[in-house]
């Protein structure tokens, strides 16, 4: 089975997200756990958390189909003390929120080292993951690959593996593959998607691939730019997504659309589910 759906808005109330996903024909979805651009937000109300869980159950979703995305302000690799303190607090808060709504996973960007050496950034990122996970059970953090602009970490599979290896909480870490970011970082998802996914499987193993973000790319191969496009409208092209959703790495994982035109989501979901149907029949 494959699970496909978009990154859904939590506007008004987080408990509305599962219904919004279902209305689009989605079998998976992603969401932020609070406004992603602010440091502190009100707690999730008890009633909202329980009605989120109730809606997830009633609409046929489960934990395997939902992958929350951490806010953008967190920088786990930052060298700045104050930034580190705030990032850790926020990351812990995001984990707490995920658990409150019954989810045991969180997707996050590995961070930007800003100053100094890349190696220092990798170490700092691993350290923050250790701190954030120190008193947490039964929870996985997925490090998302990046296009590698500026000093952003995570633009190669090997670098994601390095962060995981350096952590004391290895067992609680996995990855998310973003097709647009991979392409920007120089992985040719247009012509070699199967090879790239095979490589990810051989480095990490299936258990550590916690999700895939399905985005086409406006930017060129190896441009180091992160510019999402609708499926089939960008440089990667629609056929590559057939290959991706029919690959073992994508099976039974949340496959999340972060494509730029919401009005196409329903159609994109349908197309991807159909690719898979054609593949298995």
Positions in the binding site for Zn ion (CB under 5 A): 144, 226
Q: Torsions phi, psi of 250, nearest 5?
A: -90, -15
CA 28 to chain centroid, in Å, comes to 12
From the CB of 278, what's the least distance to Zn ion, in Å? 28
Measured from the CB atom, is 15 or 217 closer to Zn ion?
A: 217
Token pair 């972060």 is found at 258
Instruction: Please tell me what DSSP assigns to residue 189.
Output: T
From the CB of 224, what's the least distance to Zn ion, in Å? 12
Measured from the CB atom, is 100 or 226 closer to Zn ion?
A: 226
- Angle between helix 193-204 and 238-245 (nearest 10): 30
Measured from the CB atom, is 142 or 245 closer to Zn ion?
A: 142
**Pure H helices in 109-184:** 118-133, 157-166, 179-184
From the CB of 240, what's the least distance to Zn ion, in Å? 16
Measured from the CB atom, is 53 or 225 closer to Zn ion?
A: 225
Contact 214, 5 (CB under 8 A): no
Distances in Å between the Cα of 101 and the Cα atoms of 5, 17, 20, 48, 67 are 19, 11, 16, 8, 12
From the CB of 218, what's the least distance to Zn ion, in Å? 11
From the CB of 258, what's the least distance to Zn ion, in Å? 6
Q: What is the CA radius of gyration of the chain?
A: 18
Measured from the CB atom, is 49 or 175 closer to Zn ion?
A: 175
């Amino acid at each position: 089975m494959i699970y496909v759906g978009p990154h859904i808005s939590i506007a008004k109330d987080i408990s509305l997200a599962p219904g919004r996903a279902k209305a689009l024909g989605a079998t998976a979805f992603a969401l932020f756990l609070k406004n992603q651009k602010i440091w502190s937000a009100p707690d999730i109300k008890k009633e909202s958390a329980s009605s989120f869980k109730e809606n997830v159950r009633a609409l046929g979703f489960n934990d395997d189909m939902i992958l929350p995305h951490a806010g953008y302000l967190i920088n786990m690799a930052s060298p700045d003390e104050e930034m580190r303190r705030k990032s850790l607090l926020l990351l812990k808060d995001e984990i707490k929120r995920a658990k409150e709504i019954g989810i045991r996973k969180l997707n996050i960007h590995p961070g930007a080292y800003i100053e100094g050496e890349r190696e220092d950034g990798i170490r700092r990122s691993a350290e923050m993951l250790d701190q954030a996970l120190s008193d947490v059970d039964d929870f996985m953090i997925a490090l998302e690959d990046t296009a590698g602009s500026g000093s952003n970490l995570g633009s190669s599979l090997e670098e994601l593996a390095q962060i995981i290896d350096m952590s004391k909480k290895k067992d609680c870490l996995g990855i998310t593959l973003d097709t647009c970011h991979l392409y920007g970082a120089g992985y040719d998802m247009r012509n070699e998607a199967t090879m790239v996914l095979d490589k990810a499987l051989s480095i990490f193993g299936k258990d550590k691939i916690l999700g895939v973000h399905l985005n086409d790319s406006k930017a060129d191969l190896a441009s180091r730019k992160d510019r999402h496009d609708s499926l089939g409208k960008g440089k990667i092209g629609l056929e590559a997504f057939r290959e991706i959703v029919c690959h073992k790495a994508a099976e039974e994982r949340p496959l999340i659309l972060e494509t730029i035109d919401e009005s196409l989501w329903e159609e994109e979901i349908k197309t991807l589910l159909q690719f898979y149907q054609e593949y298995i029949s």
